[in-house]
C-alpha cells in the first residue's frame, strides 16, 4: 500500500512539473486557451480522445459490459462513428475557418464570427450553455476521483474529492492549454497501456483466450449476443438508438473541438483523424474485454458495484509497484477530462463574455482565477457521495452536443445559416435536453440527446430560412 502511495505521488508531481514548465511559456490568454496553435497531429489526437473518455472508459464501460453484455457494443459503435465523423467533417473546416476569422480561439467566438452576429447574443448564450453544462461535467470527474481514492486508500469521500480537484486545478491553473494537452497525451498512453496489460494477464490466469470465452459462454450464454442483453432479453430499438446517439455529442464538445482548432495545420488533421479513431477503437474494445473477462474472473464473488471491476483486477493481478502505476491510469482518465473542462469553462468567461472589457494581462489572470471558481462550483455539485457518474456525464454530454453541436455542424456545411438560426439552435438544444431529462416512459425513455439534437437542427434551419438577409 505504501508503494502505491509513492507511485501515485510521483505521477502527480510529474503532472505538476508539466504545469510549471508551461506556466513559464504561457505569455497571453490566447496561449493559455489554445497554446498558440503549435501542437502536431499526435498530441492533438491523443489529447482529444484522452480528454473525451474520462473515468467512464475504465470504470463505466467495463461495468456496462460486465452487467449487460454486448449491449455495450452499441454505445461504443456510436461513439466511434462520432469520433471519425467529427475529425472528417468538422475538424478541417473548423481549423481553417477559426484561423481565418480573426484567429478565433474559442467555440463561442468562432460561431459568432462564422455566423456574423452583430448583437453578440449568440456568443453569450453559447458561453452560458458551456458554463452551465460544464459545471456538471467537471463535477462528474470529481465524483469519480473521489470514489477512486475512497476505494483505494480508504480516504473519506469528501476529502478525496477535494484532493482530486486540487491536483487537477494546480496544473490547469498554471499551464493552460499546453499543460493540459501534454498531460493528456501522457495520460492517454497510460490508459491504453493499462487496458492492454490487465486483460492479457487476467486471461492468462484463466487458461488463455479460448478457455476464458468458453467459460463466459457457459456462465452467461447471451453475453456476446448483439441484440439481447446478458439476461437474454431483447434489446429494444429505443435502447439501440439511445446508445448510438452518444456519437452525435462529439460535434458540440468544446474541450474536444478546441483540440481541432489548436492543431498546427489543416494538413495534420488527416493523420490526427486516424490516430484518434484507432486509439478509440482499441480503448473501447479493450474496455469491453475487461468487462467480459470480469464475469469469469469474479464468478462466485460478491461485487456490489461493478464499476470497481477494473480496479479489483489490478489489485488482484499485479504487485504494488505495477498496481500503483496502473491505478494511476484510472486517475489519469479522470484528470484528463476534468482539466480540459476547467480550461474551456474558463475561456467561456474570459474570452467570450468579458473579452472586450479588460486588458490582455487581466484576461490571462482572470482565466486562471475562473478555473478556481469553476472547480469550486464543481466540488459543490460533487459533494453528494451517492451521485452517479454516468448519469451526470450523459446529461452534460447531451446538453453540449445538442445546443452547440447542432449549430456547429449546420454552420460548417450550410452557407445559409444565420446567427438568428444559431441562437434558436442553442436555446432549443439546451431547453429540450433539460425538459426531456425530467420525463420518463415510452418515447421519453429515449436518450435526450437524440430528440434535442434533431429539434435543434430543425430550429437552426427553419429560423435561418426565415431570417435570410434581403438581397439589395
Evaluate whether residue 287 is within a structural domain.
yes
Evaluate whether residue 419 is within a structural domain.
no
Cell digits for 416?
A: 445559409
Cell numbers 475538424 correspond to 91
The helix-helix angle for 71-85 and 237-244 (nearest 10°) equals 40
Evaluate whether residue 371 is within a structural domain.
yes
The whole-angstrom separation of Cα 155 and Cα 142 is 14
pLDDT at 241: 93
Evaluate whether residue 430 is within a structural domain.
no
pLDDT at 29: 47
Domain count, the chain: 1
Evaluate whether residue 181 is within a structural domain.
yes
Evaluate whether residue 41 is within a structural domain.
yes
Rounded to two decimals, the pTM is 0.85
pLDDT at 359: 67
The whole-angstrom separation of Cα 455 and Cα 439 is 17
Cell numbers 429560423 correspond to 463
| Neighbouring residues of 330: CB distance < 8 A, sequence distance ≥ 6 | 55, 58, 59, 148, 194, 310, 311
Range of the domain at 318: 2-110+122-388
> Contact, 8 vs 324, CB < 8 A?
yes
> Contact, 347 vs 62, CB < 8 A?
no
pLDDT at 36: 47
Evaluate whether residue 50 is within a structural domain.
yes
H or E, element range at 161: helix 157-205
List per-block mean pLDDT (blocks of 10 residues) for the chain, which spans 472 residues: 74 67 54 50 68 76 90 94 95 88 79 92 92 86 80 82 79 54 68 89 94 94 91 89 94 86 82 91 94 93 81 86 78 69 72 64 71 85 78 90 97 95 98 94 91 98 93 60
| Neighbouring residues of 156: CB distance < 8 A, sequence distance ≥ 6 | 150
Evaluate whether residue 428 is within a structural domain.
no
Phi, psi of 39 (to 5 degrees): -85, 140
CA-nearest of 406, 99, 138, 88 to 276 is 88
The whole-angstrom separation of Cα 171 and Cα 184 is 12
CATH of the domain at 268: 1.20.1730.10
Amino acid at each position: 500500500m505504501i508503494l502505491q502511495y509513492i507511485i501515485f505521488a510521483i505521477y502527480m508531481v510529474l503532472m505538476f512539473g508539466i504545469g510549471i514548465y508551461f506556466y513559464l511559456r504561457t505569455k497571453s490568454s490566447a496561449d493559455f486557451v489554445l497554446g498558440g496553435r503549435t501542437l502536431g497531429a499526435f498530441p492533438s489526437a491523443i489529447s482529444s480522445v484522452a480528454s473525451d473518455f474520462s473515468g467512464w472508459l475504465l470504470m463505466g464501460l467495463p461495468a456496462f459490459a460486465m452487467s449487460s453484455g454486448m449491449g455495450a457494443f452499441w454505445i461504443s459503435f456510436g461513439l466511434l462513428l462520432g469520433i471519425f465523423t467529427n475529425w472528417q467533417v468538422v475538424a478541417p473546416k473548423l481549423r481553417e475557418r477559426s484561423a481565418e476569422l480573426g484567429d478565433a480561439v474559442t467555440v463561442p467566438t468562432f460561431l459568432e464570427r462564422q455566423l456574423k452576429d452583430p448583437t453578440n447574443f449568440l456568443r453569450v448564450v453559447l458561453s452560458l450553455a458551456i458554463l452551465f453544462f460544464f459545471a456538471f461535467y467537471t463535477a462528474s470527474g470529481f465524483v469519480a476521483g473521489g470514489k477512486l481514492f475512497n476505494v483505494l486508500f480508504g480516504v473519506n469521500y469528501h476529502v478525496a474529492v477535494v484532493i482530486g480537484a486540487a491536483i487537477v486545478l494546480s496544473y490547469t491553473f498554471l499551464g493552460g492549454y499546453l499543460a493540459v494537452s501534454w498531460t493528456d497525451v501522457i495520460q492517454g498512453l497510460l490508459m491504453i497501456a493499462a487496458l492492454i496489460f490487465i486483460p492479457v494477464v487476467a486471461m492468462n490466469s484463466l487458461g488463455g483466450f479460448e478457455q476464458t470465452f468458453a467459460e463466459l459462454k457457459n456462465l452467461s450464454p447471451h453475453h456476446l449476443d448483439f441484440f439481447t442483453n446478458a439476461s437474454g432479453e431483447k434489446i429494444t430499438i429505443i435502447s439501440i438508438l439511445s446508445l448510438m446517439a452518444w456519437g452525435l455529442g462529439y460535434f458540440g464538445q468544446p474541450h474536444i473541438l478546441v483540440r481541432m482548432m489548436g492543431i498546427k495545420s489543416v494538413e495534420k488533421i488527416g493523420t490526427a483523424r486516424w490516430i484518434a479513431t484507432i486509439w478509440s477503437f482499441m480503448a473501447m474494445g479493450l474496455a469491453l474485454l475487461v468487462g467480459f473477462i470480469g464475469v469469469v474472473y469474479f464468478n462466485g464473488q460478491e461485487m456490489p458495484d461493478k464499476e470497481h471491476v477494473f480496479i479489483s483486477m489490478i489489485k488482484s493481478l499485479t504487485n504494488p509497484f505495477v498496481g500503483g502505476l496502473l491505478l494511476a491510469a484510472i486517475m489519469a482518465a479522470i484528470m484528463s477530462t476534468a482539466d480540459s473542462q476547467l480550461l474551456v469553462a474558463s475561456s467561456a468567461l474570459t474570452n467570450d463574455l468579458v473579452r472586450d472589457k479588460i486588458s490582455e494581462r487581466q484576461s490571462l489572470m482572470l482565466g486562471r482565477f475562473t478555473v478556481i471558481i469553476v472547480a469550486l462550483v464543481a466540488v459543490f455539485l460533487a459533494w453528494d457521495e451517492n451521485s452517479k457518474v454516468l448519469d451526470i456525464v450523459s446529461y452534460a454530454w447531451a446538453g453540449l452536443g445538442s445546443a452547440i453541436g447542432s449549430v456547429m455542424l449546420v454552420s460548417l456545411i450550410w452557407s445559409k445559416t444565420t446567427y438568428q438560426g444559431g441562437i434558436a439552435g442553442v436555446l432549443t438544444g439546451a431547453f429540450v435536453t433539460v425538459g426531456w431529462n425530467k420525463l420518463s416512459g415510452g418515447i421519453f425513455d429515449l436518450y435526450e440527446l437524440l430528440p434535442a439534437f434533431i429539434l435543434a437542427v430543425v430550429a437552426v434551419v427553419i429560423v435561418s430560412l426565415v431570417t435570410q438577409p434581403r438581397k439589395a
